Amino acid sequence: MPFKIAVASGKGGTGKTTVAVNLFHLFSKEHTPKIQIIDCDVEEPNDVLFFPNAKFSSEQTATQLIPEIDNGECTFCRKCVEYCEFNAVVVIPPVKFAEVNASLCHSCGACVVACEYGAISEKPEKIGTIKHYRIGPHSIISEGRLKIGSAMQTLLIKQVKQEALMDMDVIIYDAPPGTSCPVVETVADSDYVILVTEPTPFGLYDLKLTVELLKDLRIPFGVIINKAGLGDYKVHEFLLHEHIELLGEIPFHRNYASQYAKGDIFANIPGEIETQYKSIIQKLMARSPQNEGDYHFKR
Amino acid sequence: MKTVITSKGNNQNASFDLRFGRAGWFCVVDDASGKPSFIENEQADATGGAGVKAAEKMVELGVQKVISGDFGPKAKELLEKFNIQMVIIQGENQSIKEIISQLIN
């Protein structure tokens, strides 16, 4: 079983992707080539942008099942309307009209169960695509990309996570920002969560929300402070007070930020940043569930 | 002909509600008599699909015209399908009574 690490944060723009791809890069360079990154930020997946040598390998369509009502069979009893939690079924008896609004439907299947007349059947509708890229002979980047207009992020994340390969040593889930369903879905089955924050009041506020979420979910986690040196020390105080582990601090580095903006982040990683990532990886490996005193993956 | 005006309350002195799906009440006016009746919008606090449900209600009531502050895309689609006229007015401070008098005259 692979060691599943999710990289999350409450606030957007703290550096989840930066951390996720750097860990991927250093893990594969120094520890194990059998590593997969799964980009769960399906509304704007961008992990693959940082790997210009990534080779596209396959693509599949992700779908949701949308019920269709056969007006010939429907008796307009409105039982399906009562079952639908999302107001997606419209049935107007006086004009004999019955329809499902696909953009409101969550594909829960309740209306199909409700219908006693067999008037409802389910048809697949596209919600996005799942793509796989190869990096070197063993590493893989997988991403979900939501179809514009679809609101089915969580369902797509569930499907892209099913693409996790069980013969990998490490799987990194790059989570979307926030603390709502898509994030819960991303971190739910991970062994460990890295929360990336920044030393600002905004970073702290959203970090607190995410910490609450992970405590509720009972998933072990640690924090990385990105852009360290900017802002204040309130995040440090919070971590000390709450006894939360600080995995590392990535110093803010102007040149490195411009390299990032060009998509070129592995060429000249500043020494102090690389040292931080290496120490973070050591700490992560000590938390691998397979690790009992020794490193699980030695080459 | 029946017209619906979105309302914040259940009487003629209540103010006009700019929202359609999230309106508190629907004031149904019979254009010939000018007599209003009020129906509570049970879906005003729905997590989603309030507009669709409100549009569904309009069709069910056999309304030909709806006066509100705006209509969302999903509500619009359904209302259009049943040829229900949508009238958008900016009248946050107007009372239902005032709108009815404009409608009748």
What fold is seen in the domain A3-53+136-285?
Rossmann fold (3.40.50)
B50 part of contact set with chain A, CB < 8 Å? yes
Are β-strands A192-197 and A3-8 bridged in parallel, bridged antiparallel, or unpaired?
parallel
pLDDT at residue A299, rounded to an integer:
36
Once rounded to an integer, what is the mean pLDDT over residues A84-105? 93
Q: Which residue of B has its CA nearest to A93?
A: B60
Residue in A197, A134, A199, A201 with CA at minimum distance from that of residue A168: A134
Which residues of chain A neighbour B62 with C-beta distances below 8 Å? Answer: 94
Q: B4 to chain A nearest CA, in Å?
A: 18
The residue extents of the domains of chain B are 2-104
Q: Domain A63-126 - what CATH class?
A: alpha beta
pLDDT at residue A293, rounded to an integer:
41
DSSP label at residue A160: H
Once rounded to an integer, what is the mean pLDDT over residues A20-36? 92
pLDDT at residue A79, rounded to an integer:
97
pLDDT at residue A278, rounded to an integer:
94
Dump pLDDT digits (tens) for A161-220. Answer: 999 999 999 999 999 999 999 999 999 999 999 999 999 999 999 999 999 999 999 999
Is the pLDDT assigned to residue A289 strictly greater than 80? no
The residue extents of the domains of chain A are 3-53+136-285, 63-126
The CATH H-level superfamily of B2-104 is: Dinitrogenase iron-molybdenum cofactor biosynthesis domain (3.30.420.130)
* A274 half-sphere exposure, CB direction, 13 A CA radius: 11
Q: Do B56 and A92 touch (CB under 8 A)?
A: yes
Is the pLDDT assigned to residue A132 strictly greater than 90? yes
| ipTM confidence | 0.87
Percentages of chain A per state (helix, strand, coil), in multiples of 5: 30, 30, 40
Percentages of chain B per state (helix, strand, coil), in multiples of 5: 30, 25, 45
Q: Do B60 and A90 touch (CB under 8 A)?
A: no
Average pLDDT of chain A to the nearest whole number: 92
Is the pLDDT assigned to residue A292 strictly greater than 80? no
CA atoms of A155 and A146, how far apart (whole Å) = 10
Q: Which site among A76, A78, A90 would you substitute to test the B interface, given the most B Cβ atoms closer than 10 Å to its Cβ?
A: A90
Detail the DSSP E strand segments found in chain B: 2-7, 25-30, 36-40, 65-68, 85-88
pLDDT at residue A291, rounded to an integer:
59
- What's the predicted TM-score (pTM) here? 0.80
Once rounded to an integer, what is the mean pLDDT over residues B40-67? 95
- Grouping H, G, I as helix, E, B as strand and the rest as coil, residue A58 is strand
